[in-house]
Amino acid sequence: MNRFIPIEETGFEDAHAPELFAEAAARVQAFSVALALANVNAILVFDNGQATEEAFQKWLERRQIEVELGVRRMPASSEILLMSLFEKNGFQVLFPAGIDGDDAVACMALKLGCHILSRDMDMMRYGLPPGRVLSDFAIRGEAITFQVRTNETKASPRDVSSIHCDVEDWKAKGSTLQLNAIEGKIRRGNADSHTRALGNLHALVRPLRAALYARLNIPHVEETLPAWRNGNFLLEMTRVKADSNLVSLLDNPGEMYEWIRRHDMPVSSSNDDSSYDDRIHASAMAAAEIHDAAIAPDHHTSSYRIAEIYESLTNTLPIPSTATPGWCAGGRCAGLSDRRSGMHQPCLGDGSCFPMQIETAKYRGKDPLCQVCLTRLFQIIEAAKQRRGYA
């Protein structure tokens, strides 16, 4: 998701949510054009993030870090807006409820004989034939290329043969908020960066969700939210009873948004402080999601409707005519060097690195290397280890 919503890229460090989503819209368009020219049909699978205990623990660790550090870089519910952007560009978008996203993708790949494009190394644990897992893509001009994943994973093999793989069943059906409420349990994360300092905005919005439960004739719902209590992080469970006091607001997302802003007094008094921009974004997103859950469904998906409502509540920016130049072009391979001897060998491949190779090299403080040069480097290192072992 970071490839399309550039929260970690140079030039976007201080970008607010509308700027990030405008850039994302341009990138999704460019991705769509490149795939069409390559005659590639892509199906997007979005993960609910908490379907298995393993996935839940990862989710919990990330929420704790956000609370303790007071930093959430990715705007709340970005996946909803990204789903909408892909839908508007003609992609088939799936959201397999109750199934781990990786499991669903692997199941589809095995059944349909297709490739997987994923950064997750654990995709190698499903026993897919060599060459079927792709770890990255690059777009240069309008031509798209893919990097084949060759490395192994230390994760235990995983069998997905028991999963019923039906693409029609995995299409997003209605509001996730509404479906979870009907099941009687809702788990939300941090709405923004300010859970520790100001409290979780999802907790402040409870009266509006209580009105939603009243409209849906649900007596109560168990809500679990991250919180900061007595100097510690915890997941806090609250039994929220249906309450019809605010039902009249459900049909007007603008009034819901204003209600949230009025009741969020610590931030409402600091509207000119850009450090609270994510709080404003989260307020608009909360109003959009609750309104979508409260109204009768139409021919659009829930993510499409939420995106439309959100855009009506915020000062969205026009989509750039083109995405930021080179947003996924990658870069040049540095070739192999020996600092002790001063010897340098030019790139053994085509001279190009994929974006993830550039990012990894920058993170490690190393020169970027393409897959061919990386393979050769590992061979040199392994040979040196064996020589030392024999000595």
- Per-residue pLDDT tens for 59-84? 899 999 999 999 999 999 999 999 99
Q: Percentage of residues in the chain with pLDDT exceeding 70?
A: 95
Q: In the numeric block, which tokens belong to residue 142?
A: 């309008």
What residues have CB less than 8 Å from 391, skipping those under 6 apart? none
Best CA proximity match to 225, nearest among 174, 189, 191, 195: 189
How far, in Å, CA of 371 to CA of 147, rounded?
Answer: 9
Higher local confidence (pLDDT), 350 or 97? 350
Share of the chain above pLDDT 90, in %: 64
Mean pLDDT over 281-291 rounds to 96
Residue 266's pLDDT is 61
pLDDT at 49: 59
Average pLDDT over every residue of 319-345? 88
Which helix (H) or strand (E) segment holds residue 183: the answer is helix 176-183
Tokens at residue 275, please?
């450090």
249 found inside a domain = no
Lowest-confidence segment of 173-177, 228-232, 277-281, 384-388 by average pLDDT: 384-388
Which residue did the predictor score with more confidence, 2 or 217? 217
Q: Please indicate, yes or no, if residue 80 is contained in any of the structural domains.
A: no
pLDDT at 270 over 70: no
Amino acid at 49: G
Residue that wins the pLDDT comparison between 96 and 184: 184
Stretch 269-282: mean pLDDT: 71
- Cα 73 from Cα 63, distance rounded (Å): 12
Residue 339: the pLDDT is: 73
- What pLDDT score does 268 carry? 47
Report pLDDT digits (tens) over 125-183. Answer: 898 888 999 999 999 988 999 999 887 777 788 888 888 887 788 887 789 999 999 99
The answer to the question of residue 382 being in a domain is yes
Q: How confident is the model at residue 390 (pLDDT cuts 50, 70, 90)?
A: low
pLDDT at position 173, please?
72
Q: Report, in angstroms and rounded to the nearest whole number, the Rg of the chain calculated over CA atoms.
A: 23
Q: Kindly report, residue by residue over 207-246, the tens digit of the pLDDT.
A: 999 999 999 999 999 999 999 999 999 999 999 999 999 9
Residue 100 belongs to some domain of the structure? no
CA 93, distance to chain mean position in Å, is 14
Residue 11 domain flag: no
More confident residue, 256 or 318: 256
Instruction: Please answer whether residues 128 and 106 qualify as being in contact, where contact means their C-beta atoms are separated by less than 8 angstroms.
Output: yes
> Is it the case that residue 391 has pLDDT exceeding 50?
no
Burial 58-77 (b: 16+ CB within 10 A, else e): ebbebbbebbeeeebebbbb
Give long-range contacts, CB 8 A cutoff, 24+ apart: 286-289.
286/191, 286/201, 286/202, 286/205, 286/208, 286/256, 286/260, 287/208, 287/253, 287/254, 287/256, 287/257, 287/260, 287/313, 288/253, 288/313, 289/77, 289/80, 289/175, 289/177
Dig out the tokens for 52 from the structure: 């298995």
- Average of pLDDT values for 22-47? 94
What's the domain count of the chain?
A: 1
Residue 269 lies in a domain: no
59 lies in some domain: no
**Domain span holding position 367:** 331-390
| Structural domain includes residue 104 | no
